[in-house]
Every structure is written in C-alpha cells, then in structure tokens.
Structure 1
Amino acid sequence: MAKQKIVLAYSGGLDTSIILKWLKETYDAEIIAFTADIGQKEELDGLEEKALNTGASKVYIDDLREEFARDFIYPMFQAGALYEGQYLLGTSIARPLIAKRMVEIARAEGATAIAHGATGKGNDQVRFELAAAALTPDIEVIAPWRLEQFREQFPGRAEMIAYAEKHGIPVTASASKPYSMDRNLLHISYESGVLEDPWFDASAPSNKDMYLLSVDPEDAPDQAEYVELEFEQGNCVAVNGERMIPLHVMEKLNELGGKHGIGRVDMVENRFVGMKSRGVYETPGGAILFTAHRKMESLTMDREVMHLRDSLISRYASLVYNGFWFAPERLALQALVTESQKNVSGTVRLKLYKGNVIAAGVKSPVSLYNPNIATMEADPTQAYNQGDATGFIRLNALRLRVASGVEQQKAGK
C-alpha cells in the first residue's frame, strides 16, 4: 500500500528541517518539500540537497517572484493597504501565494495533507490555513507546533538542535543572530529574540549589521537622488523611463531605496490571534512605490472615489494581515479598487534622501487638476464663481445653526 504523501512548506531553517524528519518518522509518510522562491536570494542555496538528505522524497523549488509581484504585491498597493498605519504587509501578502502553490503541488502529487512550521502563537498559521481552506476545502493541514506530542519532544531550541545533531541535519542556530528573519521580494522582517523587548533600540549603531536591504539612513549618500515612476491604471510600468515587468520594478526600487536607507519600520502590532508583537521591517522598494502611487492618485482620482476607497483601506489591510486574501470580501473590495484605478496614469518624480521619500513633481494626461480653476489669480475660464460659495456655505451650515439653537434653548439662553 502506498505511503501517505505530505507536502511541507520548507525553508531549510532549524524548524522546518526538524519538522521534515519528524513528520517522516511520526506519520511514516513520504514528505515532499516545497520552497517558494519569492525573493530570498542566497537563502535558497543548497536547499534541494539539504531537503533530500534530511529525508524528503521530492523537492520543489518554484520561482514565483513575477507572480508574487504581479498578482499579489501590485493589487495590494493599488488598494493603498497599510496595516495599523505603518506596516506594508510584506510577510502577510506572501503567505497566500505559498499556500496556493502548496495545494497545487498536493493535487498534482496525490498528497492528502500539507504541513507548515508556523507556531501556534503567530499569524502565519492562520494565513496558510485560511488560504488552503478557500482553495482546497478537503485537504488536511498538519501544524506540528500545535501538536502536544511535538511540543513535548521539543520544548525548546536546545532539544531541536540536539535532534538535528543526532540525525545529521545541518542547521544554523547561533547567538550571533538572536532574532528570526523572513525575507522576500517586498521586504525583510525581524522579530523575536532580543527584539521582544520594545525598549531595545534596533536603530542603534551596534545593530547596523542586522539590516540586509538598506543602509543606515545616517550613512546614506549626502546627495539626494531623483527617480521617476510611470503608472498605467494604478500599476508602475517604468522606472526612470525604462519599461519593466513588476518583478524588475520591485528589484530596481529595492536597489534605490536600500541605497538611501528608505523603508525601515519598527512597530508593535496587533496579531490576529490576540497578542501584541514587536516587528522590525525593511521595505525599501515598497516604501517608494507606496508614496509614488499615492501621489499619482492625488492628481488623477476623483475625490469621492478616493474617499470611498480610503475608507476601506483599514478593512482591506486587515483582510490581508489576517489571511483572508482568497475570501469573497477581499475579492469584492479588489473589484472596487480596480475600478478606482482606471485613470491613475502618469508620471511621479520623487527625491530620495537619507531615509526620506520626498515629492518632487507629478504629471498626467488625465489630470483632474486644473490650474485655471485652482488659481488665486483671475479665472480666465470663469468655471468657478466665488459668489456661489455663499449659498453652498449657508446650506451646509443650516443643520449646525439648528442644532446650536436647540442647545441654547436647553441652556435657557
């Protein structure tokens, strides 16, 4: 009788390396390791060989970078999504893509289950499993960190390292990097370890080596650099006059942003599972794209459409953060967002300087800004009659006068 097949989301780190071996032993199953290449770069080196040596029967390392940029990052940035006013959702937006590919592999391989190394305290377990449920409702999900048997065997890192040594599994776990890190095309996140103390200064000179995508703003060039981004229907299609696919746009903006120390965020956020957590993020290209997109909208988007979309930003960002990317409400919001972007086209010029993204000009062939109407000088078109404002103000003040009169009457005035 054929063995059960389990598809494991595999990174090659300590946790998933241990989990691969543990799943094979505990379930007497065939383990198919899957790694999504979403921009980890050198972290992917040697992964296939390591997974096979650890016990995987098959390894998938799929290049999903362009799909990630085109179908996940770009639609989210069209929505202007920002979680709790700071976080550009770099980790959150990657999880539904990973889950999507996992269930595709599971179907192709005839696997009955997928597994992941997310802990029972984090957001990723929710994101993986909600996406899987939306795409393949009958597939089993194995989350070892939520199983008492696994936690009893591995109460701490020391036991995991000892297990790895016993089974000849090479792992990198040292005090030189006392935090966890997650990297993709959009960002790098750092959390846990020394960062669990919110008073710990991650920007201190002694911690410069932690950051991989950006220089310290204090060490960035003393000369500002200009960059121009061209948009078509809300999507950036060219940088400095060179047309690019979304993947190459993100790579170019990461290079420029990193050079100037742009996109660092240090925040305490609210996890979906109920606790607060501290995260430090580097999102150099994303910070540039977010600012440029908003500037483009300011010139080309109708006021009421913008205000309607903006009223939904918090909701949209929470859906992404909490793992509801494939939920019908996110898809419905995306349809509204797509409609709102049909005229968000033109060019934005920005100045990059020591951690700052500074507006330096915006133009569009479909601009809604009319200098003849907005001018403080004489209006040659006479499109706006200043005298009309008298009635406009009187009508808007009517309910305020009525309410004030009632309050004065109550006070006996």
Structure 2
Amino acid sequence: MILPLCLKSSSIRHGLLSLASNPSERSPTDLYHYQMALTQLRGDIGAASGDNVDIEWIHQLLASSLILSFFTFSQCDGYSIRHIRGMISIVRMTDQALLASTPLGRFLMGVCSYHDILAFWIGRKQPSQRAWTSWMSHRTQTDPGGDLTALESMMGYPESLVNIIADVAELVDDNIYLELENRADLSNGQSVSSFTQVYHRTASPLAYGNASDELEGSLKRWAVPSVPQGLSPVAGMVLRSAWETFRLAAYLYLLRCFGFHANHLEPFRADRSALAGAHVSAIISNCEAILGLGSIPRVSIGNALLWPLVVVGCECGPGSEHDGQTILDMLQSLERLYSMEHPKYVRQALQKLWAAKRTWLNCQQAPTDAARPPASLNQIVTEMKLVIPLL
C-alpha cells in the first residue's frame, strides 16, 4: 500500500532505501538515506501546517514517519517512539473521519494507534496517547468472508481482540499511575521514580474493580474469528491457535494488574491462581506448536508471538512449574525464522528477572531478613537503558 507513494515522495524513497540492509548490517549509506528522509520529512511537515491539507499529502507524511520508525525499531533505544508520536500528532491535525475513509489512511492511522498501546512495550517512558480507543475501537472492521484487513495482516492480531487489549492496557496504565500516587504519599510526598522502589503488595484494591471484571468477561466471551478462505487446514489451525494464544496472554496481563511493572515475585490472586497456571501452560504449548511448524505459506504469524512469550516468560523460571529455557529457545526461534533482532534483548531481560527470582528464593531460605530484589521486568529493562517493542 505504501510502495506507490515513493513515486511522489523523496522522503519515502530515502526511507525505503535506508531499510535495504538487515539492522545488524547497516552501512553509512543506509544512515545517509535515513538522515535524508528525516530532513525531507521535517520540511514536508512544515509545508503541511496550513489549512486544507490534501489527504494524499497526509498519507505521505504518515507513511514516511512509519518507515523511519522501522529504521530504529530493532535498536531498542526508544527513537522509534518519537516517529510514532509524530504520526499521532499528524493524525490529530487531520480530519480522522476523512482519513479513515481511505484504505491507506485507515491503515496508517491504525498502525500508529497500535504502536501507541503501552502493553506492547517494555521500558517505555512516554505515556500512551490512547489513540486506539479514541480512533480505532469504533472503526473495527470484520470481513464476513474471513479475509484479514490490511491492518490485521500487519499486526497479526484481529482488530476485535486489539480493542480489548487496548482497554486492558489503559486499565493497567491507570493502576500504575494511581499506585505511584499512593506510594508517593506514603513516602512523605517524595516522588517515586520506580514502581518497585517503595514496597510491593500482593494485591492492590485499585487493581480489582468493576472495570477489571468487565474486561475479564470480555476476554472470556471473545471468540476466534473466521480465518481467511483459501488457507490450508494447517495454516488455518496455526492462525486460530495464535489468536487464542493472544487472548490468553491478554488475560494474564490483566490478572497481573500492573502489566510489566508488576512484581513477579508475588503470586496471582488466590481465586485466579489455578486459571493463570492453566493459561501459562496453554500459551507455552501453543507457541511451541506454532514455532515448530516454522514458516507456512500465506501465514507468517510467528513474529507476533513475541508479546505472549514475554507475558508468559515473566511467569517462568525459579519457583515456577515451567523452565525458562523453553522460552529462551522459542525467542531464538523468532530471531532465526523471522530475522528479528530485538528478541535477544528480551532474552537478556528475562534472564535477569529469573536471576532476581532465584535470589529472592535463596533469601527466603536464609535465617536473616534480606532486602527484596527488583522483580519488575519494566524496571530491569529500564536499568538496561533499553526500550523494547513487542510488536
């Protein structure tokens, strides 16, 4: 959808040329094209600041910003977020209804909204703009024949499920914000820079309210949509299994109440513990089966498994029924099968999380009271000075 725009936009042409090499093999020429694309984009945005901007011009600005975000994506340095926030600013200055009325406009608006969802990032400092729930939730499209929308093909997720995940992410964001406020009050009004800095609680009343119950109900009721016609039986099975895995991961993320900011030394709620354990086992089993099949023609869904693997990886390791090595092996499979760079940082972060769990278990066996180590994946990634996309 974007490729034809390169005939009209030098920024898009340079942006595409900057992506010619694998991230680990980028040359000074690739960086030159990135800088040229960025310079041209800045000029184009300045020229588009007036009234009555042509919708095709907006398409070019959004497409160029998206391509530039891909250049820095695997570096996990947070720069890709700047381009996504730039896309959101462009959408805000545009008539969203008009933008969504064009297939390309809807796709580009959906992509930046999807990338804005905080649940799909670890270590990100910028808050979500809540773009998906503002612009996309009420514009969800479902093809009666089961064909995927352009947006679904890019995400790997059904739009109807992303609607729920976006709501879950916003509830988690609210829980974190309110919890930090409470802890700041408890520390005599001093600001709390880290979610795990002051103390940990098994359950916060902020985390279990009507909103959480409603979202649990939404996840229970959500049914896997029809798969596209023409897929082989195996490909259809893989797609349905992946979508169900995403639903289970969203459920675990919700049950943790604070997402990747949660203290993973703490158990799940007593009345949700058995269900959470069953979901952990199902996610691991599903991911192993999907990755075991490798790349199937017309279905490249495996790369979207990064998020559920991280969600379930937080529940593995010392003190768990599941060995973390299985998760590490699957993350390596993602790197190999889909030429992804950032899963290697995820592996490092999970290993640090499991080491913290092991330290805590050893401290529990010691006769003296020892300080609790940090066991928030988000804090660990922040200390690594990374911002990891799970997209």
TM-score tier after normalising by the smaller chain length: under 0.3
More strand by proportion, 1 or 2?
Answer: 1
More helix by proportion, 1 or 2?
Answer: 2
TM norm structure 2: 0.26
